Homo-oligomer: A and B are copies of this chain.
Amino acid sequence: MKALVIGGDGYCGWATALHLSNKGYEVGILDNLARRHWDAQLGVSALTPIASIQQRIQRWKDLTGKTIDLFIGDITNYDFLIKAFRKFEPEAIVHFGEQRAAPYSMIDREHAVFTQVNNVVGTLNILYAMKEDFPDSHLVKLGTMGEYGTPNIDIEEGYIEIEHNGRKDILPYPKQPGSFYHLSKVHDSHNIHFACKIWGLKATDLNQGVVYGILTEETGMDEMLINRLDYDEVFGTALNRFCIQAAIGHPLTVYGKGGQTRGFLDIRDTVRCMELAIANPAEAGKFRVFNQFTELFSVGDLAEMVKKAGISVGLNVEIQNIENPRLELEEHYFNAKNTKLLDLGLQPHYLSDSLLDSLLNFAMKYQNRVDKTQILPTVSWHRK
């Protein structure tokens, strides 16, 4: 089966492309390489030295004999998109091709507008390409658990049965996203839902939690295949960033009280979830939603775990609660469901001491690449 991985040069996309290739899919990568460009604009780079996409794909071929097609261009350009689709003829369209950092979207008006236009138009273009030429293909779209916010009731997977004034209906789960980026994903979800309904398309929205980890079976085969690992204030995410902070002797920066609870998963589970979603496509006309995470942690608890693991490998680790640049509840109820991917066969890699050791060792190996001035948050959610 042919799977086109849009955004296949990014953190989740690259790992997924190799995993699918390894599992026997014919894989194409479509990417505008914007993520590398944003790093350059912000003056940051990943902890890990990543090869060019062309080098990565060549090394994968040298090692495994497997070819990955490459389409470099922007999905907001429909002419480019439809030509690439017609050439590759995807059966599964795996869509990671969006601006994915909340702080990036909150830098200023331009970044907010860019994020929403980029993400919404890219996804609209994919939906129209499916409608026009690939109505039987299956869209597997990366959403985010951040679409839900932190409601005071259990978070279901995409839909909720509501009983109200003696009547019942199953409706889209209400969304309370916490940044212009998260909002863009909510917009996408509504657009995809509608396109499935009117055009009979098949789509799966994977509302993913925070991903941690660096190695997958495939990206660990060779240093030239290494994945990116971000620690900076814009693209770095909680657990990965804590490990890097521990490795370089920087205090672990917990925003606010640290009671913010989120869903987390190992990147080895990300690639497996994508595989499961592709292998078990949605029905025509259905907008299927899975919550893609394996465990819930509070940010404060994670910091404590990294501190403990760091001390056990001889690091001196401090935790610092700093002023929260975001506007979010720091103590709240959070109980999200995640059984649908488990039902399809996901066997989670739960967060373990050995994973933390491995991440810490990675971070120590590349610690000389860290620019410490990029760690503390400067982008604020607040009105000045």
Residues of A within 8 A of B (CB): 78, 109, 112-113, 116-117, 120-121, 124-125, 128, 131, 135, 151-154, 160, 162-165, 167-169, 171-180, 183, 186-187, 190-191, 193-194, 197-200, 327, 333, 381-383
Complex Cα spacing A177 to B191, Å: 9
- Contact of B167 with A176 in the complex, beta carbons under 8 Å: no
**B residues in contact with A162, CB < 8 Å:** 153, 160, 162, 164, 174
Q: How far is the CB of A134 from chain B (nearest CB, A)?
A: 12
**B residues in contact with A113, CB < 8 Å:** 121, 124-125
- Given A112-B128, A172-B174, check contact A154 B164 (CB 8 Å): yes
- Contact of A198 with B382 in the complex, beta carbons under 8 Å: yes
- Contact of A168 with B153 in the complex, beta carbons under 8 Å: yes
- Contact of A197 with B327 in the complex, beta carbons under 8 Å: yes
- Given A113-B124, A128-B109, check contact A190 B177 (CB 8 Å): yes
**B residues in contact with A171, CB < 8 Å:** 151, 153, 174, 176
Instruction: Known pairs A112-B124, A135-B383, A197-B327; list 9 more (Cβ under 8 Å).
Output: A113-B125, A116-B187, A124-B180, A153-B162, A154-B167, A172-B174, A179-B194, A186-B187, A198-B327
Q: How far is the CB of A178 from chain B (nearest CB, A)?
A: 7
Copies of chain A in the complex: 2
Complex Cα spacing A164 to B175, Å: 15
Q: How far is the CB of A368 from chain B (nearest CB, A)?
A: 38
Q: How far is the CB of A159 from chain B (nearest CB, A)?
A: 9
Q: How far is the CB of A384 from chain B (nearest CB, A)?
A: 9
Of B168, B175, B199, the contact of A190 (CB 8 Å cutoff): B175
24 A-B residue contacts at CB 8 Å? Answer: A78-B109, A112-B124, A113-B124, A116-B121, A117-B120, A120-B120, A120-B187, A135-B383, A152-B168, A153-B162, A153-B164, A153-B165, A154-B164, A160-B164, A160-B174, A162-B162, A162-B164, A171-B174, A177-B190, A178-B194, A179-B194, A183-B187, A187-B190, A198-B382
Complex Cα spacing A180 to B333, Å: 34
**B residues in contact with A117, CB < 8 Å:** 117, 120-121
**B residues in contact with A78, CB < 8 Å:** 109
Complex Cα spacing A78 to B113, Å: 11
- Contact of A191 with B180 in the complex, beta carbons under 8 Å: yes
Q: Which residue of B lies closest to A108 (CB)?
A: B128
Complex Cα spacing A187 to B112, Å: 13
Q: Which residue of B lies closest to A201 (CB)?
A: B383
- Contact of B177 with A152 in the complex, beta carbons under 8 Å: no
**B residues in contact with A187, CB < 8 Å:** 116, 120, 183, 186-187, 190
- Contact of B154 with A200 in the complex, beta carbons under 8 Å: no
**B residues in contact with A199, CB < 8 Å:** 382-383
Complex Cα spacing A131 to B327, Å: 15
Q: Which residue of B lies closest to A78 (CB)?
A: B109
- Contact of A198 with B381 in the complex, beta carbons under 8 Å: yes
**B residues in contact with A163, CB < 8 Å:** 153, 163
Of B154, B167, B183, the contact of A191 (CB 8 Å cutoff): B183
- Contact of B124 with A109 in the complex, beta carbons under 8 Å: yes
**B residues in contact with A177, CB < 8 Å:** 190, 194
**B residues in contact with A179, CB < 8 Å:** 194
Complex Cα spacing A164 to B153, Å: 6
- Contact of A383 with B169 in the complex, beta carbons under 8 Å: no
Q: How far is the CB of A31 from chain B (nearest CB, A)?
A: 21
Q: Which residue of B lies closest to A147 (CB)?
A: B190
Of B128, B131, B172, B194, the contact of A183 (CB 8 Å cutoff): B194
**B residues in contact with A190, CB < 8 Å:** 175, 177, 183, 186-187
